[in-house]
Amino acid sequence: MALGGGGNTYPMQMMDTVQDRVRARDGAMRLLNRMTTGAAVSALVGVGVLGAVSAHTIPGATSTSTASTSTASASITSSSTSSSTSTSSSGLQSSTTPVTSSSSSGVAVSGGS
Amino acid sequence: MDNTLLWYTTRGAGAVTLVLLSAVVVLGILSVLRVQSAGWPRFLTVGLHRNLALMTIVFLALHIVTAVIDPFTHLGWLAAVVPFSSYYRTFWLGLGTVAFELLLAIVVTSLVRGFIGQSAWRLVHWLSYASWPVAVLHGFGTGTDAWSAWLFGLQAVCIVSVAAAAGYRLMAGSRDPLAAARSSFQAGVDRRESK
Amino acid sequence: MSRLRLLAGPDLAAGAERLHSHVGRLGPLPKGGHSLIELLVRTELAGRGGAGFLAGLKWRAVAHASRGSAVVVANGAEGEPHSKKDRLLMSTRPHLILDGALLAAASVHAKEIVLYIGEEHHSALRSMTGALAERTAGERRLIRLARAPARYVAGDSSASVHLVDAGIATPTTTPPPTRERGVGGAATLVQNVETLAHVALIARTGAATNTVLVTVAGAVRAPGVLEVDTGIAVGDAVQLAGGPSEPPRALLLGGYFGRWIEAADAWSLPIDPPALRARGLSLGCAVLGVLPASQCPVCEVAGIMRYLASESSAQCGPCFFGLRALADACTRIAERGTDAGDLQRLQRWSAEVQGRGACKHPDGAVMFLQSAMKTFGDDFAHHPAHLRRSA
């Protein structure tokens, strides 16, 4: 070849290996795409399913349970439109100030650990 | 009802993130071990590891955002970036922030690996062995559901998988399909006197 | 601009120029130092090793990082198969290179000079060793020889440092750069031998040189090394090499890490690094490879890709496996004819490999391939199967 680096053309048996390698890579690429898509769909569905399961196990409809360090609980009222207070011992809000929907750091006591 | 929807989404997304993160760590370990077969070449493990890592960041973002904007948590965006700055379960939530930032560092350095060089990238990537356990602890300590059967079960599966992969790595060492080619090339360009 | 040319002086066929002839023509060795560095910066001398980095800036950086223990590596490994300019320069004008290296050592406060010469380039080795024997004792004390293995990547500057430092000519990952930490941890200046030869002239005249060494290869009547004036058109350089031996199709500018250009567009290109950069091109290692119309570009590219893949130092997966995948795909097109997935495969694997290597070898190969696919798009898209016997 005029400019080639001296690489010869492949003999026939090596060509078959090349073909196999190329086919295998293609198959693997397809598998990667399918698995990625599958994972994404499963993850989205998972958020929904697990969110629903979590809603079922610890729903937000009622208020408190006594908080303890090992049992995770949060006191949340079911109302979302108006400000409201909650009664909780180690909850998120102080029992005196109304809830405001803002991203302030709040005035409540620090959560126990 | 809106608030609780946010709250359920936070928990669902948190669980999914943990599962994804665990899969990412397992795949990362498998790719170091150069696990491969005829139908599953090495680049597939690496590719899946990369794709799922990016997916983890997406669902982690969902988890963080829903937690912060939830009016009930009063968390504030600061808690998402400054560890141990929230008043709500300061320590356990703080762990989550730490895990998030470690993960962010790992992903960002991976995206700019060409600029920072192989060694710097590898150094930061080792932090993955820190970010996963910190994330797990965060799940146990902050999570509303940590001791609910479903999440406990999921966490157990994740922990067992990662532990198994890590254990396998410790025992199996690192089989390297490049080893033969590399040492043969090096032998050809080795000009040391004492050979 | 200076009138001095690198290859001026006695007939090249006479072999290495002796010291007395060299000094008689050009005068004694000037002094190096800070003022020489500034002169190089002013004259904008570009490196001739392939990257085209401004020499003055590199010298400044090494001088700054040097603590009096810097090292100068004169890189004459010339791993690019078709390039012959460095070998010719070493074989015929060794004192220009030694002058340049000594000037560099004085300017960057180096305590050692290493001449990195291809172990199979016997004439260059003989010539440089012979020239070294003619120098003063003080100069000889500073200089030693290191033989470069005959592999493509051995000419890479980090590989040269690795060979000199640790005895193994494999490229290393860059941070920190060798100009800060190289041989023995000291600041190291790696400079191509042609660049050093230019320095030897610039230091004497105080003015920029205005010639370039190029190797014309491929389908030309008189392939070989030419010293041409900067700015000359590629077509004129090709004419100086006897002109094309058959109708040309395209030019490969810059060797195997270079770019393909259609002959009609290539012929008017100026051989001038800044002008080429303005067009998004680079002189690289200054090989002008002429591809004739009778030669299949796809088959040529596949052969070169196979070579580049086989020259991987196997230090990282993307290079070793990635370049092999690309070479396989090119070979498949070359041997069996294009099919639907082939072009996608090439695109996909190129994107997988680029930027992921531990050194610059895979990037160079990928950019070469991408340039080929752009210039020979139709050929790649509609390549018929050639019936070939293995060579």
Q: How far is B81 from chain C (nearest CA, A)?
A: 30
CB A32, CB B44: distance < 8 Å: yes
Q: Which residues contact C271 (CB under 8 A, 6 or more apart)?
A: C212, C214, C228, C230, C231, C232, C233, C234, C237, C283, C286
Whether C182 maps to a domain, the answer reads yes
pLDDT of residue A64: 41
Q: How far is C317 from chain A (nearest CA, A)?
A: 15
Whether C3 maps to a domain, the answer reads no
Structure tokens at C165: 């430092």
pLDDT tens, C250-268?
Answer: 999 999 999 999 999 999 9
pLDDT tens, C157-174?
Answer: 999 999 999 999 999 886
Q: How far is C300 from chain A (nearest CA, A)?
A: 6
Per-residue pLDDT band at C379 (split at 50, 70, 90):
very high
CB C82, CB C72: distance < 8 Å: no
**Nearest residue of A to residue C219, measured between CA atoms:** A2
- C355 vs A41, higher pLDDT: A41
Which strands make up the sheet holding C287-292, listed edge to edge?
C224-229, C211-218, C287-292, C248-253, C259-262
Residues of B whose CB is below 8 A from A71: 147
Q: Is pLDDT at B176 greater than 80 in this prediction? A: no
C277 and C321, same structural domain?
no
Where a domain ends, among C275, C292, C309? C292
Q: Is pLDDT at C1 greater than 80 in this prediction? A: no
Half-sphere exposure of B67 (CA within 13 A, CB side): 26
Q: Is pLDDT at B132 greater than 80 in this prediction? A: yes
Residues of B whose CB is below 8 A from C159: 189
pLDDT of residue A8: 47
Instruction: Report the domain count for chain C.
Output: 3
| Beta bridge partner(s), residue C212 | C228
C256 and C230, same structural domain?
yes
Cβ distance of B8 and A54 shorter than 8 Å: yes
CB C47, CB C284: distance < 8 Å: no
Give the rounded distance of the alpha carbon of B103 from its chain centre: 6
C334 and C240, same structural domain?
no
Whether C254 maps to a domain, the answer reads yes
pLDDT of residue B144: 67
CA–CA distance, C70 with C62 (Å, rounded to integer): 7
Q: Report, as an integer, the average pLDDT of B88-95.
A: 88
Judge if pTM exceeds 0.90. Answer: no
Q: Report, as an integer, the average pLDDT of C339-368.
A: 88
Residues of B whose CB is below 8 A from C356: 113-114
In the predicted model, what is the mean pLDDT of chain C? Answer: 93
pLDDT of residue A2: 59
Q: Is pLDDT at C132 greater than 90 in this prediction? A: yes
CA–CA distance, C328 with C257 (Å, rounded to integer): 19
Helices B2-32 and B149-172: angle between axes, nearest 10 degrees: 20
Residues of B whose CB is below 8 A from A112: 89
Per-residue pLDDT band at A18 (split at 50, 70, 90):
confident
The CATH number that applies at residue C357 is: 1.20.1440.230
Q: Helix (H) and strand (E) counts for chain C?
A: 17, 9
Q: Chain C within 8 Å of B186 (Cβ-Cβ)? A: yes
CA–CA distance, C283 with C228 (Å, rounded to integer): 13
Per-residue pLDDT band at A60 (split at 50, 70, 90):
low
Q: Is pLDDT at C298 greater than 70 in this prediction? A: yes
DSSP C95-133: HHHHHHHHHHHHHTTEEEEEEEEETT-HHHHHHHHHHHH
Q: Is pLDDT at C232 greater than 60 in this prediction? A: yes
Q: Is residue C68 exposed (0-12), middle (13-18) or buried (19+ Cβ within 10 Å)?
A: exposed
CB C50, CB C257: distance < 8 Å: yes
C259 and C127, same structural domain?
no
SS3 content of chain C, % helix, strand, coil (to 5): 50, 15, 35
Q: Which residues contact C191 (CB under 8 A, 6 or more apart)?
A: C47, C49, C55, C58, C72, C73, C74, C75, C100, C101, C104
C259 and C220, same structural domain?
yes
DSSP C250-280: EEEETGGGSEEEEHHHHTT-BS-HHHHHHTT
The dihedral through the CA atoms of C12, C195, C102, C161 has a sign that is negative
**Domain enclosing residue C143, as ranges:** 12-205
Per-residue pLDDT band at C235 (split at 50, 70, 90):
very high
C218 and C189, same structural domain?
no
pLDDT tens, B138-172?
Answer: 998 886 677 788 888 999 999 999 999 988 888 77
C131 and C29, same structural domain?
yes
Q: Is pLDDT at C36 greater than 90 in this prediction? A: yes
CA–CA distance, C137 with C317 (Å, rounded to integer): 48
The continuous run of DSSP H or E covering C214 comes out as strand C211-218
Q: Taking CA C170 as the corner, what is the angle to CA C169 and CA C172, rounded to the nearest 5 degrees?
A: 125
CB C299, CB C386: distance < 8 Å: yes
Whether C361 maps to a domain, the answer reads yes
CA–CA distance, B56 with A40 (Å, rounded to integer): 10
CA–CA distance, B69 with B73 (Å, rounded to integer): 8
Q: Report, as an integer, the average pLDDT of C166-187.
A: 89
The CATH number that applies at residue C275 is: 3.10.20.600
pLDDT tens, C193-204?
Answer: 999 999 999 999
CA–CA distance, C186 with C112 (Å, rounded to integer): 11
Neighbors of chain A by Cβ distance (3+ pairs < 8 Å): B, C
Cβ distance of C168 and B189 shorter than 8 Å: yes
Cβ distance of C290 and A2 shorter than 8 Å: yes
Q: CB neighbours (10 Å) of residue A38?
A: 10
The continuous run of DSSP H or E covering C287 comes out as strand C287-292
pLDDT of residue A71: 39
C230 and C176, same structural domain?
no
Structure tokens at C209: 């040189």
- A56 vs C147, higher pLDDT: C147
C177 and C306, same structural domain?
no
pLDDT of residue C261: 97
Torsion (CA) A107, A108, A113, B5 in degrees, nearest 10:
-100
Residues of C whose CB is below 8 A from B184: 314
Structure tokens at C391: 């060579």
Whether C2 maps to a domain, the answer reads no
Torsion (CA) B157, B160, B163, B166 in degrees, nearest 10:
-70
Best residue in B118, B183, B184, B192 to probe C by mutation, most C CBs within 10 Å?
A: B118
- C141 vs A54, higher pLDDT: C141
Torsion (CA) A113, B4, B8, B14 in degrees, nearest 10:
-50
DSSP state for residue C227 in the 8-state scheme: E
Alpha-carbon Rg for chain B in angstroms: 20
Size of interface A-C (CB pairs under 8 A): 77
Residue C307 carries which side chain, given as an amino acid letter?
Answer: Y
Domain ranges across chain B: 2-189
pLDDT tens, B44-84?
Answer: 888 899 999 999 999 999 999 999 998 877 788 888 899 98
- B79 vs C29, higher pLDDT: C29
Which of A69-78, C30-39, C160-169, C314-323 is predicted least confidently?
Answer: A69-78
pLDDT of residue B85: 87
Whether C386 maps to a domain, the answer reads no
The continuous run of DSSP H or E covering C249 comes out as strand C248-253
Residue whose token pair is 């033969």: B180
Residue whose token pair is 């002839």: C21
Whether C87 maps to a domain, the answer reads yes
C236 and C119, same structural domain?
no
The CATH number that applies at residue C53 is: 3.40.50.11540
Q: Report, as an integer, the average pLDDT of C229-247.
A: 96
